[in-house]
A and B are shown apart, each in its own frame.
Chain A
Amino acid sequence: MSDSFSLAGTTFTSRLIIGTGKYRSYEEMKAAHSASGAEMVTVAVNRLPLDGSSESFLDHLDPKMKILPNTAGCYDADYAIRTARLAREALGTDWIKLEVIGDPVTLLPDNEQTLEAARTLVKEGFVVLPYFTDDLIMAKKLLGIGCPAVMPLAAPIGSGMGVQNPSNLRIMREQLPDAVIIVDAGVGVPSDAAIAMELGADAILMNTAIAEARDAAQMATAMNYAVKAGRLAFLSGRMPKRLYASASSPIERAIK
């Protein structure tokens, strides 16, 4: 199946984007990344330890992977903008997963601050991929200021609860048929990923569901299949839901 999607001039054949956090070892992370088929991974920007002990985390990533730095841990637009600028300088990439968190317990996004940061970063030439609440109006605003994609949540980060508001994603898909929609955060199991793709998401970004699986590489394989299955189902068009049964076998000439 050749079913690629494009983002800011880059074509991806895999619709699964995965994180690099929470793995128990580098070996496990590398095996999971390989099994996932993903072509882009997220990384976080952090203070360098001053004891000289740090090794470059990036050395443990497959050099073929596109690296997408994030602004995780930022609670207002200013911090997110500073983090994005630092990421660009360190990595030489204009791409940024914009994440402005509004609350430490739920890790739900602060949409207002996200929009403000996105506006500044787009003007500075960043390719801004914003994580936000699954809200159509917010998606329109983010696209309107120049974000090449929007990344609505399925559920809170790391919750593994799956798509909590399928109607919101469906409405977003129907109302924004040409937008790139990447469901980011909250996927727990492959069926969650499949549901998001069946609803019309262009891609899924996940981390914890793979990293916290007992067998991360095997779960990454399962997610790879699920994203593909969900995509195929979306393209195929689902049957209508009916309240009553509709026999699959001809019953008119059944024996009596």
Chain B
Amino acid sequence: MITIYLNGEAREIPLETDLVHLLEVFSLPSKRIAIELNKNVIRHADWPVTRVREGDKLEVVHFVGGG
């Protein structure tokens, strides 16, 4: 297991987890969201080939009401 920082929270996930799997692990939706890995946006097409490493900082965002 490795520790990552997902939306500011420390979380344990299995080694070699890619971004598609990451969303599944946390039961997160995969549509109309975006993922930033260490301050770089990862294109949706690259999620299956992007693996998370120890200490990575991820932001997973969606849309909410706003002005």
- Seen from chain A, the residues whose Cβ lies within 8 Å of a Cβ on chain B are 19-23, 29, 42-48, 50, 52, 54, 56-58, 67, 69-70, 72, 82-83, 85-87, 89-91, 157-158, 185, 205-208
Complex CA distance for A56 and B64, rounded to whole angstroms: 8
Instruction: Say which residue of A52, A83, A157 sits within 8 Å of B67 (CB atoms).
Output: A157
Q: Which residues of B contact A21 (CB under 8 A)?
A: 64-67
Task: Report which of A89, A158, A208 forms a contact with B44, defined as CB distance below 8 A.
Answer: A89
Chain B residues whose CB sits within 8 angstroms of the CB of A45 once the complex forms = 61-64
Per-position 1/0 for B28-63, Cβ under 8 A of A:
110111111001010110000000000000011111
State the B residues within 8 Å of A (CB): 6-9, 11, 26-29, 31-36, 39, 41, 43-44, 59-67
Note all chain B residues with C-beta closer than 8 A to A22.
65, 67
Q: Is B65 a contact of A44 with CB atoms below 8 Å?
A: yes
Cβ–Cβ contact B63 & A86, under 8 A: no
Residue with the highest number of chain A CB atoms closer than 10 Å, among B32, B41, B44, B65: B65
Query: Which residues of A have CB within 8 Å of B65?
Result: 19-23, 29, 43-44, 57
B63 near A44 with CB under 8 A, answer: yes
Residues of chain A with a CB closer than 8 A to B28's CB: 48, 50, 52, 54
Q: How far is the CA of A42 from the CA of B65 in the complex (A)?
A: 8
Does the CB pair A54–B26 fall under 8 Å? Answer: no
- For B32, give its contact among A20, A29, A91 (CB under 8 Å): A91
Task: Tell me if A48 and B67 are in contact (CB < 8 A).
Answer: no
Determine the distance from Cα of A47 to Cα of B62 in the docked complex, in whole angstroms: 6
Q: Is the CB of B8 within 8 A of A47?
A: yes
Q: Whole-angstrom distance from the CB of A78 to the nearest CB of chain B?
A: 8
Question: Closest residue of chain A to B31, judged by CB?
Answer: A56
Contact B34 A87 (CB under 8 A): yes
- Are A19 and B67 interface neighbours, CB within 8 A? yes
Query: Of the candidates A48, A70, A91, which one forms a contact with B66 in the assembled complex, judged by CB atoms under 8 Å apart?
Result: A70
Judging by beta carbons under 8 Å apart, are B43 and A54 in contact? Answer: no
Known contacts A52-B27, A90-B33: A46-B61 contact under CB 8 Å: yes
**Interfacial chain B residues near A70, Cβ < 8 Å:** 66-67
A43 and B63 form a contact (CB under 8 A): yes
Given contacts A54-B29, A56-B31, contact A85 B41 (CB under 8 A): yes
What B residues does A185 contact at CB under 8 A? 67
Nearest Cβ in chain B — how far from A169, in angstroms? 19
Q: B32–A50 contact, CB under 8 A?
A: no
Distance to closest chain A CB from B37 (angstroms): 11
Instruction: Please report the C-alpha to C-alpha distance between residue A22 and residue B28 in the assembled complex, in whole angstroms.
Output: 24
Of A19, A58, A90, the most chain B CB neighbours within 10 A belong to A90
- Chain B residue contacts of A56, Cβ below 8 A: 29, 31-32, 62-63
- Within 8 Å by CB of A52, from B26, B31, B39, B41, lies B26
